[in-house]
Amino acid sequence: MEIRACLKDLIPYTPGVLKEGAIKLASNENPLGVSPKAQQKITECAGNASLYPDGGCVALRKALASKLSLTPENIIVGNGSDEVLIFVAGTLIEPGDNAITSESTFSEYAYATHLYGGIMKYAPMKNGCFQLDEILNRIDINTKIIFLCNPNNPTGTYFNNDTFVKFMNKVPSGVCVVMDEAYIEYATNKDFPPSIELIEKFKNLIVLRTYSKLYGLAGMRVGYGIANNEFIYNLNKARSPFNVNILAQEAATAALSDNDFVNRSLTMNEAGKKYLYNCFDSMGLKYYKTEANFIFVYINQDCKVAFEKLMELGITIRPLKSFGFNDAIRITIGTQEQNEFFINCLKNILV
Ligand SMILES: Cc1ncc(COP(=O)(O)O)c(C=O)c1O
């Protein structure tokens, strides 16, 4: 058996090392756990697991459309937004085509591109920020997709509406722009792009969001894409019939109205952010101001060594070597107790 050429150099995903009992601030999950409304719904609906799920995620798409002032035809739901990335690449990339993103961003853009035989081109990043002009400079006749991450994982930085609209006006209409907004609910700056308002003007734009962060449903695997009807119709051709399971659909629909959980999560994130900024300042550590639920911080020592030491002390964080930073880590903003524990451990290993 000969596997496809584009898969030969791909390395299967290796999940992060987890230490039993350790506090996990490594994957930007919600430290408050699951939305209680979603949890209750999962319990209530467990008995329906013998049935196939709704293959069109009709109720969930309706609830999302109503919340976002869209129509259900503007929305496609995936088994996590990771899967929506694969729908986009599977719909647009032929072997030899290329996609463009920035260096030091989410790795799944490259994975989805390579899966279909595409080539990933990288624009440089400056001060932890996407350089949209550098991306424009790299577009050629074989470019099919541009992947943007706003706020960016792992730096937490963002680009504003003005920059984004100027960029969109220069991108050829045949090049799809994926605007990955996995962390948008945490963003507080007023000039953040209201990207879903632009999907009719720019029919090549798709906005991705997820239930894995603010709504505390990473283990349920629900994410969605928002674009004009025709693009969504075509993306559905790359989607398997029952891709989102029955409990995930129920949980996601319930979580959408869990305002109390959402508000508590956002308040805790803001407080944690301030606490960690203060601690980093007093420790003399440089970091990027974040628009998300994690912070990128330079620790002035090998991040893989720091990762091992912190894990020994009972906490897991994300070392950023694979993103191109030898001496930086990404820490999920946790509960106050978890943040204090992290800071104590960090002080301990930095002496
Ligand atoms: C920027 C970004 N996009 C997408 C995802 C994937 O989210 P999901 O759990 O919906 O697949 C993540 C997960 O960490 C992420 O950081």
**Which pLDDT score is estimated for 12?**
87
Ligand 1 centroid from CA 85, angstroms: 10
**Percent of the chain scored above 70 by pLDDT?**
99
Using a 6 Å cutoff on CB, does residue 195 contact ligand 1? no
Distance of CA 337 from the midpoint of ligand 1 (Å): 25
Q: What is the pLDDT of residues 20-69, one digit of tens each?
A: 899 999 999 999 999 999 999 999 999 999 999 999 999 999 999 999 99
Q: Is the shortest distance between the CB of 150 and ligand 1 below 6 Å?
A: no
Confirm or reject: Cβ of 210 under 6 Å from ligand 1: yes
Percentage of the residues of the chain whose pLDDT score is greater than 90: 96
pLDDT digits 0-9 by tens, 274-316: 999 999 999 999 999 999 999 999 999 999 999 999 999 999 9
pLDDT score of 11: 87
pLDDT for res 16: 67
pLDDT digits 0-9 by tens, 168-182: 999 999 999 999 999
- Rounded mean pLDDT of 126-144? 98
Average pLDDT over residues 189-211: 97
CA 127 to ligand 1 center in whole angstroms: 22
Residue 90, pLDDT > 70, answer: yes
149 CB near ligand 1 (under 6 Å): yes
pLDDT at 102 over 90: yes
pLDDT for residue 14: 74
**Is the pLDDT score of 194 beyond 80?**
yes
Does the C-beta of 84 come closer than 6 Å to ligand 1?
no
Which tokens belong to 53? Answer: 């799920």
Whose CA is closest to atom 12 on ligand 1? Answer: 182
Q: Name the pLDDT band for 351 (thresholds 50, 70, 90).
A: confident
Binding site membership of 80 for ligand 1 (Cβ less than 6 Å)? yes
Q: How far is the CA of 209 from the centre of ligand 1 (A)?
A: 8
Give 198 Cα–ligand 1 centroid separation in angstroms. 22
81 Cβ closer than 6 Å to some ligand 1 atom: yes
Q: What are 313-331's pLDDT values in tens digits? A: 999 999 999 999 999 999 9
Atom of ligand 1 nearest to the CA of 183: 1
228-268 residue pLDDT tens: 999 999 999 999 999 999 999 999 999 999 999 999 999 99
Mean pLDDT (the chain, rounded):
97
